[in-house]
Copies of this chain bind each other. A is one copy, B any other.
């Protein structure tokens, strides 16, 4: 029965239909949602996003994007959370923020339309999303923006959706975005802010909560109960080694993407008797080693990574957050790629066994190592020369749709998370499995952590390195 926990969690999150316009009454924020507002500053913006990329339909006319924009602009904004704004409050009431329904959302403000400069490649797209994600949301309006981006080559376009973390977490936003997507080129595509309740498509996120994802979450949850704890600070929290990945940040962000073929990742997993997620962590570990060696140094102890995990929602909860955080080692101190992968695999196996012995692990995760604790680790007060304040970075996994999806006849060929920096982190990697690919979104503060796009660019090299390490494509290596 325990093996069903994670799948149930995900179903509980995605099975809610969108809620139509409220009766004008207030909606109080829960403590976690409110904390994302309270913690926000110009140096620590608290919005998240998704970047969706599409192939233009065959023989799309020159005005395809203009007409798409005009079509989306015609829908009223009457679905939560897109029609909620913060209630203006005075004095002590500010400590208990409330949402109120905006009955006349000005969609012209929230729905934008841009284009990429020539040559419209991944670099130009990355820079555009970096610029958009660096801008704070305006607190007097509903806390979201949607930007259509044309000029992506060859023959593609993009949609970037930004929303405040107090209104949605990654899984929640992914579910909202799924509302606009259809399972065939001829399927209807409604904007998420106006999806009719009756016609809401079946939620798709659960379909990704297969055995592999479940094993991944179980493994991570299992780490909580590990008999030999990692080194801990005075607070009792485990701590990663001190390195350039942690410290102060500005509000500026640099975003970069990469896509890996799921089949290649699976082949490595099979060859090493590991899971897909072991390989994902090992690939990230590989590019982080190269990057740290170049810009700083590789710590002699393994980096410690935070992994947000979706939790069951409360009954009736259609907005906001329901997330806990756990932590895991990345084995970055091991140079040999195969040994590194096996170390991650073994740690995950241990974790799973321990998880099965500790049925209360889930609750412990919520209480002792929640996202809240991670987000609230102070940014500038770490005077320990050896240890980070808590974890070194976040690597988050958002389950995505398995089947090919369409938007107004255009095939979606990429779905990348654009996340938030937590606590004193300067880097976040969020991965989404969609169709036949794993989609990596790297977000960092470029004022304090330079050239993070190199991590994205080198990801395929780290994958190739792992393939060779486990004996895949020997012939190619010999011929190279």
Contact = CB atoms under 8 A, between A and B. Distances in A.
Interface of A: 42, 62-63, 65-66, 69, 106, 108-109, 112-119, 127-128, 131, 135, 138, 140, 148, 150-151, 250-252, 446-447
A110 to B, nearest CB: 12
A478 B251 CA distance: 62
10 pairs of A and B residues whose beta carbons are closest in the complex: A115-B115, A115-B117, A113-B117, A117-B150, A115-B151, A115-B116, A62-B118, A65-B117, A66-B118, A65-B118
Nearest to A127: B113
B447 A106 contact: yes
Contact of A109 (B114, B115, B135, B252): B252
Q: How many monomers of this chain does the complex have?
A: 2
Contacts of A114: 114-115, 117, 128
A412 B59 CA distance: 36
25 contacts: A42-B138, A62-B118, A62-B119, A63-B118, A65-B117, A65-B118, A66-B117, A66-B118, A69-B117, A106-B447, A108-B446, A109-B252, A113-B117, A114-B115, A114-B117, A115-B115, A115-B116, A115-B117, A115-B118, A115-B151, A117-B150, A117-B151, A118-B150, A138-B251, A151-B151
Contacts of A42: 138, 140
With most chain B CB atoms within 10 A of its CB, the pick from A115, A116, A252 is A115
Nearest to A131: B112
A65 to B, nearest CB: 6
A229 to B, nearest CB: 40
A164 to B, nearest CB: 16
A252 B106 CA distance: 12
Nearest to A140: B250
With most chain B CB atoms within 10 A of its CB, the pick from A65, A117, A148 is A117
Contacts of A140: 42, 250
Contacts of A128: 114
Nearest to A149: B117
A79 to B, nearest CB: 23
A355 to B, nearest CB: 45
A276 to B, nearest CB: 36
B116 A66 contact: no
A252 to B, nearest CB: 7
Contacts of A446: 108
Contacts of A135: 135
A433 B115 CA distance: 31
A131 B118 CA distance: 21
A25 to B, nearest CB: 25
A250 B109 CA distance: 12
A140 B106 CA distance: 31
Nearest to A113: B117
